[in-house]
Amino acid sequence: MINRDTGKSDGRCHDSTPVDPWVADFSQHLTMELKRGPRTAREYARDIEIFGAYLQGRASSDEHKAPYRGPFGDAFLEATPSSVRRFVMHLGTCKYGAAAIRRKLAVLRRFFSFLKRDGHRADNPAIEVPNIKLPKRLPKALPVGDVLRLIGTRAPAGQAELRWRRDIAILELLYASGIRRAELVGIDASDVNFDDRTVRVIGKGDKQRTAFFNHATADALQAYLRVRPPCRDGALFVSAQHRRLSYQQVGRVFSAYVRLSGLEGKVTPHTMRHSVATHLHKSGVDLMTIKEFLGHESIQTTQIYAEMTLEHVRRSYEEHHPRDRMR
């Protein structure tokens, strides 16, 4: 299923191999030449398949229904700027968010650029379609007190020690290191170095980097490792079946603790990443250091945390400046 706000797949695709040969070639180009991860390739393929289904009159407005996956014949070779524009308008009527539409348009531009490079098209019809303007929206960051409340949430009565120690270690590590959920599930036990309090992770584009964690996280990890069952592939976080914990399972663990904590609003594992970056910047850590800490390729991505801090200053100013309070 596709998240209509972000345009990303939730991972419930039953078969990740594209049916259409053009989409299959593009997926191979992403993974083999551009070194994109398999999850990214699947999401890109799904976006193109939604476009292909639209071109063939098989589009569905039902988010719970998987799109027609092809083959699409010559539909991609015959697509025009007008058909891309109509597709964008169609997505709007299906109540996709601006970010999701913008993402799909970016994927189509890259796909048609690939077809043009390989001599299958003379043009790129998606280039001529303007971008959807995104509303200015800062990522959500929890106050420190709410993070501590979440991490300190007691497990349900009767829950096995293995499970609650694992879950607390997950929460601690997400906040301490700022790693992504996809990075967390890929960690092996051998990637953790308690002497340096570091963990080796594989980020976007299969790039390896070192993340850091604090003493509290080290204690939580060591307590979990004392009861962790053996896992054939060496995964750090494992299920009751002794298998590597999946991306979706981590999401369910996190959601359960958010509910137990009583926190309101949408709080996700990625919220922890935004929260630690915001807290570090408010404490005086410079943006270049935060860029390296988060594994961002560009400082422009990290710049959002400066804007978040400025917004906090503005709200505090308006709330506490004595001149306005005297009016």
Catalytic residue list: 180, 204, 270, 273, 296, 305
Question: Could you give the C-alpha distances from 40 to 17, 47, 226, in angstroms and in order?
Answer: 13, 11, 35
* Residue 32 per-residue DSSP state: I
Nearest to 247 by CA among 268, 261, 230, 224: 268
In whole angstroms, what is the distance from residue 24 CA to residue 26 CA?
5
Question: Phi, psi (5° rounding) for residue 265?
Answer: 85, 180
CB atoms within 10 A of CB 325: 8
In whole angstroms, what is the distance from residue 256 CA to residue 238 CA?
17
Sign of CA dihedral 72, 74, 78, 81: positive
End-to-end CA distance of the chain: 52
Q: Following DSSP, what letter does each residue of 16-29 receive, concatenated?
A: -S-SSHHHHHHHHI
In whole angstroms, what is the distance from residue 166 CA to residue 151 CA?
12
Nearest to 107 by CA among 37, 51, 62: 51
Q: What is the token pair recorded at 256?
A: 């359960």
Question: Phi, psi (5° rounding) for residue 26?
Answer: -65, -40
Strand segments (E) across the chain:
192-193, 198-202, 208-212
Q: Are strands 208-212 and 192-193 parallel, antiparallel or unpaired?
A: unpaired
Contact 105, 134 (CB under 8 A): no
Contact 270, 181 (CB under 8 A): yes
In whole angstroms, what is the distance from residue 198 CA to residue 115 CA?
42
